Amino acid sequence: MATKYLPSHSSTHKESNAVETQNREKGMGKKAKTSRKGKKAWRANISTEDIHDFFEQSTKDALSGGSLSSAPAESLFFVDKSKDLSVKRKIEKHRQKVLHVESMLQKNPFVQAVPSSTLKKSKKTLKEVPKPKDATECSPQGSVSTSGMVDLWGDKGGENSKTKKTAKPSLIPAVEVEPPGSSFNPTFESHQETLAHAVAQEMHKVYKKELGPQPVPLTVPGEAVDEEEMYFLDADEGTDDDMNPENLDENEDAASEKRPLKTKRVTTVMLNKRARRKEQLKKEAEAKKAQKLSKEIDGLPDILQEIAKEDDEKHKRHIRRVVAKKEKLKSCPPRLGKHKFEPAPVQVLLTEEITGSLRKLKGCCTLVKDRFKSLEKRGLIPPKLNKSSKFTPVPVEINF
């Protein structure tokens, strides 16, 4: 016969005491004592917490894919066979990362820009840069293209640079060749021609000074007048004023103001006559206006011909002005300062000064003046007046 092990009364008493102490530790207070008589009462008081914990753990493992203790080692661990990246590749990879500042500057395609009130003003002052056909042509990085920044050290940085203004070349050469008559040993014909040109320039200055308007004199010569003569002059002036027609008109007006004014009564006949006269004048003015308009319409072809002639004359006058301006620029510079450019006199030797040899030629310091006049003539510097230096004697005391 199979023997069954039954717990004794002492063992059951110990277990009940242990359960009570455990409940006290948990803070649940004292537990009501249960009956320990019989096998059924003893089984009812057995704790099933371990069984519940086991079932909860098994369900968690089943949901997560199995317990780690039962899983093979190959699924838990693996051997890393990848190679380490080079330092250069790491630096490039680090540079490719978009910074937080650049990400904040990126445009959001789903957010519309706020319309600005200064858009019209900016169109007047600023010029829009032409956009490239492809977004990749402007910059390879997406962050730079979306943020609108420009790479200063890029290949296409010269497109945004300002173009330098180029000055127009002067029509006057830097070094002008003097006429052959200005040589130290010229021919007779060329020397006489250049000499005549120099004389004509000097005579033109003389005639301009003589025939020009005379300046206002500072003082006017006169004689002193006696007191008796002053009395007669005042009397003559008074008689002239009285006989003046303007004064006579004023006297008549004053006399008419003193007379009593007589008012006439206006009748209906006079009013009707005035109205008829007014209508007649109005009709005559309208008839004259219509007649004038019909004459203008009849003479319309003549008016068109006159307008065409005036346009042709204006066009020819404009062409003459342009040609004259170009010819003037070849000899004179544009107006720079408040003074006009005065060309230097022709440097020519007199007939008795021609020696035919460089050794006997007199030296002169005209090279600096020639270069200075050339700069003024080409419009590089504003012209100045030639100030003649006056000799001011300094008094010196000599004590013997």
Please provide the DSSP assignment of 180-212 as one string.
GGGSSS--HHHHHHHHHHHHHHHHHHHHHHHHS
181 close to 194: Cβ distance less than 8 angstroms: yes
pLDDT at 126 over 90: no
Q: Which of 118-122, 186-190, 201-205, 248-252 has the lowest mean pLDDT?
A: 118-122
d(CA 360, CA 226) in angstroms, rounded, equals: 71
- pLDDT tens digits, 47-77: 788 888 999 988 888 888 777 788 888 888 8
pLDDT above 70 for 227: yes
Residue 93: partners with Cβ closer than 8 Å, 6 or more residues away: 85
Q: What is the DSSP letter of 386?
A: -
Q: List pLDDT tens digits, range 326-378.
A: 888 887 888 888 888 888 888 888 888 888 888 888 777 678 888 998 899 88
pLDDT tier at 256, thresholds 50, 70, 90? low
The pTM is what?
A: 0.38
Report the chain's terminal Cα–Cα distance, integer Å. Answer: 177
pLDDT band (50, 70, 90) for residue 236: low
Q: Give the pLDDT confidence of 138-155 residue by residue, as tens digits.
A: 444 444 455 556 666 765
Q: Distance between CA 36 and CA 12 in Å, rounded?
A: 8
300-331 vs 268-298: helix crossing angle, rounded to 10: 60
Give the list of residues 6+ apart from residue 68 with CB closer than 8 angstroms, or none: 76
List, in order, residues 6 or more apart from 7 with CB less than 8 Å away: 42
CA dist 341 and 320 (Å) reads: 23
For CA atoms 289, 290, 292, 296, give the dihedral sign: positive
Q: Buried b / exposed e across 252-281, counting CB within 10 Å, b at 16+?
A: eeeeeeeeeeeeeeeeeeeeeeeeeeeeee
Count CB-CB contacts under 10 A for residue 361. 14
> Domain-by-domain residue ranges, the chain?
268-293, 299-335
pLDDT attached to residue 21: 52
> What value does the mean pLDDT take over residues 15-34?
52
- Tell me, what's the pLDDT at 188? 92
Q: Report the candidate in 118, 145, 179, 168 with the shortest Cα–Cα distance to residue 349.
A: 179
3-state helix, strand, coil in the chain (%, to 5): 55, 0, 45
pLDDT tens per residue across span 259-297: 666 677 888 999 999 999 999 999 999 999 999 999 889
Q: By C-alpha distance, which of 170, 142, 169, 137 is closest to 154? A: 137
